[in-house]
């Protein structure tokens, strides 16, 4: 069954079509989410939010882009919202700790667990993802989509709603910033 048939069936409220959409695109959504949020449990929450939004807003999908492009956009939006909520909670917890309710700040390194990373590479990958998390939002999104998800610059531009030259520029700046972040990290850990 092609994706347009599934979309039309889902618009009619067909649960089987929804199940097939979830099964077909759950890995894409989860892997994109974990590339941004860097935590398996959070990525699962984001994926669930994505598919709830797909179900609720499928009538708004006009077919001007591929379904996968629409899913990437929703996933990135949900993942970035999730990170913003999490940062607010951490800031609040940190501020509370300054006032004596708790003597420790609740800021922890990311719980890193990406399905594409072998066990012996987890520490290196966690270092990379920590450096990646320090990038400005648009650079982080472009880098994640291109280098981790394997999308072409053209596909990244469609997902981000920008031009290919903007993606090239974001990637160039992301690589330079990552290089600086990683050099600083290894200089400090020596």
State pLDDT tens for residues 127-140: 777 788 888 989 98
In a shared domain, residues 4 and 94: yes
pTM for the structure as a whole: 0.64
Mean pLDDT score, 79-104: 63
pLDDT digits (tens, 9 = 90+) for 10-50: 999 999 999 999 999 999 999 999 988 888 999 999 999 99
Total tally of structural domains belonging to the chain: 2
In a shared domain, residues 6 and 86: yes
Rg (CA), the chain: 19
Q: What's the chain's average pLDDT?
A: 82
In a shared domain, residues 82 and 126: no
CATH of the domain at 17: 1.10.1740.10
Which of 165, 164, 175 has the alpha carbon at shortest distance from 135? 175
Mean pLDDT score, 163-169: 95
In a shared domain, residues 93 and 175: no
Q: What is the DSSP string of 100-162?
A: TS-SS----------TTS-GGGHHHHHHHHHHHHTS-HHHHHHHIIIIIS---HHHHHHHHTS
Final residue belonging to a domain, choices 92, 109, 126: 109
Q: Which residue has the higher pLDDT, 38 or 97?
A: 38
Which of 19, 15, 23, 17 has the alpha carbon at shortest distance from 1? 17
In a shared domain, residues 96 and 159: no
Residues 108, 87: Cα–Cα separation, whole Å: 12
Domain with 19 in it:
1-109
CB 112 within 8 A of CB 125: yes
């Amino acid at each position: 069954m092609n994706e347009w048939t599934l979309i039309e069936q889902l618009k009619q409220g067909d649960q089987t079509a929804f199940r097939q959409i979830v099964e077909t695109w759950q890995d894409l959504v989860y892997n994109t989410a974990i590339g941004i949020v860097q935590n398996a449990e959070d990525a699962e929450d984001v994926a669930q939010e994505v598919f709830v939004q797909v179900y609720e807003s499928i009538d708004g999908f006009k077919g001007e882009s591929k379904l996968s492009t629409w899913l990437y956009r929703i996933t990135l939006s949900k993942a970035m919202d999730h990170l913003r909520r999490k940062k607010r909670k951490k800031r609040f917890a940190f501020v509370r700790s300054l006032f004596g309710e708790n003597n420790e700040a609740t800021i922890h390194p990311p719980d890193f667990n990406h399905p594409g990373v072998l066990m012996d590479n987890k520490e290196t990958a966690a270092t990379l993802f920590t450096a990646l998390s320090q990038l400005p939002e648009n650079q982080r999104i472009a880098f994640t989509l291109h280098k981790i998800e394997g999308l072409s610059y053209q596909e990244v531009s469609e997902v981000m709603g920008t031009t290919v030259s903007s993606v090239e520029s974001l990637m160039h700046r992301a690589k330079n910033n990552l290089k600086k972040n990683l050099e600083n990290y290894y200089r400090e850990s020596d």
